Amino acid sequence: MTDAMSASVVFCGALTYVYVGNAPNLMVKAIVESHGIRMPGFFGYVGWATVCLLPWLVLVDLMFFA
């Protein structure tokens, strides 16, 4: 049970913390946007991260914890 909880914390915690809580990521976002390249906002990032990470969470759950 604790392994499944730990895996979900790692995968789902990456949905928000990596983008919001990490100053270097915000600096990279500002530099990229200053060159005219569009970057997603917070909810856009959460949407993309959900699309990319949620299937992996389900796959890992089915492979190791089922």
Average pLDDT per consecutive 10 residues, the chain (66 residues; last block may be shorter): 72 61 74 90 80 84 80
Do the Cβ atoms of 49 and 14 come closer than 8 Å?
yes
pLDDT of res. 17: 56
| Contact present, 50 and 19 (Cβ < 8 Å) | no
Res 35: pLDDT: 95
The Cα–Cα gap between 45 and 30 comes to 15
**Separation between Cα atoms, residue 66 and residue 63, nearest integer Å:** 7
Which H or E run includes 53? helix 42-64
pLDDT score recorded for residue 1? 61
Which pLDDT value is given to residue 61? 80
